[in-house]
Amino acid sequence: MEVNPHSLHQILTRIREQMRCPQCGTHISVDFPSVKLTGDDFMLLQLKCESCSAFIVLHVNLTEQNKIETPADTRKALLNASSTLSLSEDEMTTLRSALTSYDGSFEKLFGTMKNQ
C-alpha cells in the first residue's frame, strides 16, 4: 500500500477516535511518532497511556476489505489456528489410544512422560 501523508493522517485519525487503553479505558493519543514500522499491508504502532503509563503495541492491518479472501469452508473460518491439530490419521490414532489409556487426562499422560 502506498502511504502518503494524507492517507497516514486519515489512518491515525481513525485509530485516535477509537483507541482506548485496555487497562484503564481512557483515550490514547495517537500521533505520527507512534508509528514504528510500516509495510505494504500493515502498520505497527507503539502507544503509551498517559493515565496509567501502560505501553500498547498495535498492529494495524491495511489490506483493503475486498482483497481479503474468505475461506470456502465456513467452519474453518470460525476456528482459531491454534485450536486445530495438523496430524495425520496415524498420529491421531496414537494420540487417541494414549489418551484412552490415561482416562482422557493430558495431565496424567504428560506426567508419565515427564517422569521417564
- The secondary structure of the chain in percent helix, strand, coil, rounded to multiples of 5, reads 45, 15, 40
**What is the Cβ-side half-sphere exposure of residue 41, based on CA atoms within 13 angstroms?**
5
CA distances from 40 to 2, 8, 53, 63, 79 (A): 7, 13, 31, 8, 27
The predicted pLDDT at position 42 comes to 85
pLDDT-derived band at 46, boundaries 50, 70, 90: very high
The predicted pLDDT at position 39 comes to 81
Alpha-carbon distance of 38 to 40, in angstroms, equals 7
Indicate the Cα dihedral angle 57, 11, 71, 66, nearest 10°: -170
Per-residue pLDDT tens for 22-45? Answer: 888 898 889 888 888 888 788 889
Q: Does pLDDT of 73 surpass 80?
A: no
Q: Helix, strand or coil for residue 86?
A: coil
Alpha-carbon distance of 85 to 96, in angstroms, equals 13
Q: Helix, strand or coil for residue 69?
A: coil
Least confidently predicted of 50-59, 60-69, 98-107: 60-69
Q: Does pLDDT of 70 surpass 60?
A: no
The predicted pLDDT at position 65 comes to 45
The predicted pLDDT at position 77 comes to 56
